[in-house]
Amino acid sequence: MANKSQYGLGKGLGALLGGEDLSELRKPVGYINKEVVSKEGKPQDTSDVLRIPVDMIEPNPYQPRMNFDSEALKELAESIKTFGLIQPITVRRKGEGKYQIISGERRYRASRMAGMDMIPAYIRDASEQGMLEMAIVENIQRENLDPIEVALSYQRLMEECRLTQEQMADRVGKKRASVANQLRLLKLPAKVQHDLKVGLLSVGHAKVLLGLEDPQIQETLCDTIVKNGLSVRQLEEKIKSLERKAPTSHKDDSDPQELPEMYYRLLENIGRYVGENGISLRRGRDGRGSLTIRFESDAQAEAFLKALDHQR
């Protein structure tokens, strides 16, 4: 799901927000009693997140990305130390007591750098596709999943079972817009995802924060919510108040409201060619708006053009 700006707040807003030290409230997220090696010898539910010892995991030799930015890895490692690894990696079994990374090598490297001895992971069995799909859908339907776990399950269903958002929505019995909004939660900074996961803020808070483009502002407002116990309505009022004061702010006629179904279809279809981060949408209350498409290369633009020509 592509980002859409709903509040016209510039980075000047940051000067109006004081940072908070809430480290005593935040503990790294964990996955308790879900070890890959069961003491009772019982088979583990591979639709769930399991913790695997680091020395049982090995990188994928066919990993297309060979170079990892050292500074970015250090930043991710520090985030993992503070919040835990919120998005598990995906591995496949490889022989007795060994697992090979399918996706998440950057998270794996940062976790090792952070000193983790156990890494949360999904295990991708070489089983029939339909069995995997059913297992993930069954996992989604459990009542005790937090919003981030639900979003990760949606993401896994799309990636591993190669489903579109529409197909996935059919599988889980949800509207496409509901699924798209759930997936958008994974666009939030790690701090905000952590607090949403452990119940320090609600999905309603998260939806309002998603309307802000600057991750630092999202994090600072997240601290304010946690410290002062702001309701969703109070958060909206605070943003409006800060917007009026911010020297670089500008207003538009957008509201933090759900988009009509056709817009999600539009974003998904175009996103196939330019990626989720290559498209953004603004829509006002009166239906007016703008659609921005960003290309990484001439080849990407050409591929998009061919797709348009093919539809004629």
Residues known to be catalytic: 105
Instruction: Compute the distance between CA of residue 185 and CA of residue 202 in angstroms, rounded to an integer.
Output: 11
Instruction: Compute the distance between CA of residue 99 and CA of residue 257 in angstroms, rounded to an integer.
Output: 43
Classify 88 as helix, strand or coil: coil
Give the dihedral of Cα atoms 168, 172, 178, 179; nearest 10 deg.
-40
Give the tokens for residue 306: 């061919």
Cβ-based neighbours of 154, under 8 Å, separated by 6 or more: 140, 168, 172, 179, 182, 183
Secondary structure in 3-state letters for 3-15:
CCCCCCCCHHHHH
Q: Name which of 53, 130, 129, 49 is nearest 90 in CA terms.
A: 49
Which stretches does DSSP call E strand in the chain? 50-53, 57-58, 89-93, 99-103, 118-123, 279-283, 289-293
Classify 301 as helix, strand or coil: helix
Start-to-end CA distance of the chain, whole Å, equals 26
Instruction: Compute the distance between CA of residue 256 and CA of residue 167 in angstroms, rounded to an integer.
Output: 26
Q: Quickly count helices (H) and strands (E) in the chain.
A: 12, 7
